[in-house]
Structure 1
Amino acid sequence: MKQKVIICSAVLCLTLTALMADSDELILHLKFNETNGSQLFRDSSGQGHDARCGGSVRCPAMRDGHGWFRLTADNREWVEIPNQPGLVPEQEMTVSVWIFPANALWQDNRPVKIGGGKIIGKTNARFDGGFVLGTDVKDGLKYTFFPEVWDSSGQRFHFLAGSFAFQEWTHLALTWQTGGQMVGYVNGREVKRIPVSNRPIGSNQNPLRIGIAPWDTNALAFGGGIDDVRIYGRELASNEVQALFRNGREGNNPEPNTPDFPDAPQ
C-alpha cells in the first residue's frame, strides 16, 4: 500500500485527503445524478465504464441525485457494466458505496421484517474469482456488512461485521491488499479486518452488477437507494475512507465537526 504524509489543519487535511482519493487510480465512479427515466449511467472516472439497465428490467428511478432500486414480489431492478479488462483490480482494490436500505415486509404501515441483498459485485456461479458487497440482517431493523472476495484459486474471504439501520443513508467500504488484509468499514469506522492470501483477486467474464446478485439476476435483489459507487485500483488508507464518509455522498454533505475516530478493532 502506498503511504502518504500530510501536514495540515483538520479541515484542510480532510479536503486534501478526499481529493487524493478522488484522483488516484479511480477505476469507476457512478454518481447516479442522471434525470429520471435514464437508461445510461455515466462513469465519471474517465475510464468509460458506463452502466446500463440490466436485461429487460425497468431502470432504477432517479431521486434527489441517487439511484432508487425498486423491489417488489414481481419486480427487480439493477444496472450492469459489461466485462472489461481492469474493471476489477487484482492486487489492490477499494470499493466504496452509499446505500439507503429499504427492503422490508410492512404491516399497519410499519416495517416488521427486513431483508438483505447484494449491492455491487462481479463474480459467477462457480465463485472462482471476483467480489461482492452485500447486506445481511443482524437483528430487528439492523443490518450487518457482508463482503466477499474470491482469489485466483477460488478461495473465499468474507465476514459479517458492523451494524447499520433500516432506511438510513450508510457508507460502506471494502479494501483489499493481496498478501495483506481485507478491511471493512461502516460509516468510516473499521469494523473488521482479516488476512488474505498471496494470490490476486480472481477474474471472471460476468458483468459487474449493481443492485442484484452478480451471478444470478433472480436472486438477492437490493431494495432502496444506491449512490456514489466507486472502485479504486489501490487499497485506500483508513483516513482516506474516513474522508469519503465525512464528505458525504459525492461530497455534498460535509461533516467537518465529526469527532475523531477511535482505534480500529484488532
Structure 2
Amino acid sequence: MASAISISGVTKRFGKYTAVDRLDLEIPVGLTFGLLGPNGAGKTTTIRMTMNITKADEGTIRVLGEPLADEMQERIGYLPEERGLYRKMTVIDQLLFFAAIKSVEKKTALARLEKWIDVMDLRPWLGKKTEELSKGMQQKVQFLGTIIHDPEVLILDEPFSGLDPINVVLVKDFLADFKKQGKTIVFSTHVMEQAEKLCDRIALIYRGRKLLDGTVKEIKHAYRDRVPLPPPVEPEPELEKIFIKAVEESGLAAPTTEELR
C-alpha cells in the first residue's frame, strides 16, 4: 500500500533537548492514523516537521511520495494546535480568506460551505465577528478552513480540544465522511479512547521515541499477557495501561494514567 506520509530516521533537537528521536513512521494512503502520547511526547513537533514548518535535524520526510515543498501545502489540510483566526473578521470572510490562500475560487468555496455550515450550526454566525464566537464555535470555523480546499491529507493537532460532546460528534462524522472519500487522516491526541474508536492504526510516542506502532487490535493482542487485567477480566487491556507498560519496558520513566487522559 502506498504511503501518504513517510518519516524515516527523523530527529529534532532544541538545544540540548531532543524532541523527536530517530522516528520512523509509514502512514498508508486512505487510513485514519493516530499519533498518541502525553503532552510533551513530540507529537506536535512531528506534525510541524511534516508540514515543513520546523526543519528536521536528521532524517527524511515525504508526503504523497514527494519531498517536503511549499507546493505540497495545497494537497494538505492542517489544523494546528494553536488555533488562529482574525478576531475582527466576520465568519464568512474568514472562511473565504482560508479558501483564497488555498487558491479556491469564491464560487467553489461558497458551494462547499453551503453543504457544511448548517451541519456545523454556523449559519446564524456568518455575519458575526469571530471574536463574538465561543471557543468551540471558533474551532468549528477553523476546521472548515482546514478542509475548504478539499485536501488529500488531513493533519490535525489535537482536533477535539475545546469541543463539547455534541461538536466532538460532528467533527468525528466529518472525518468519517472524509475517510469514505479515500482521504488520509492523521491526528494527534493524548486521549486514548478517541484513537481507539477512530483510528485504523496508531503510534505511541514518548519522549520523542516511538514505542508502539500498529493497529489497535495488533497492539492489544501483543500485550494481552503482559498487562495485568483487573477482575472482572476484560478481554483485552486498555491502551493507557499498554502505553505505561511499553514505557516501563523501554527503561524510561513511566507516565501516570492521569497524564494520558
Query: Please, what TM-score do these two structures have when normalized by structure 1?
Result: 0.28
Q: Which has the larger radius of gyration?
A: 2
Structure with greater strand percent:
1
Structure with greater helix percent:
2
Query: Please, what TM-score do these two structures have when normalized by structure 2?
Result: 0.29
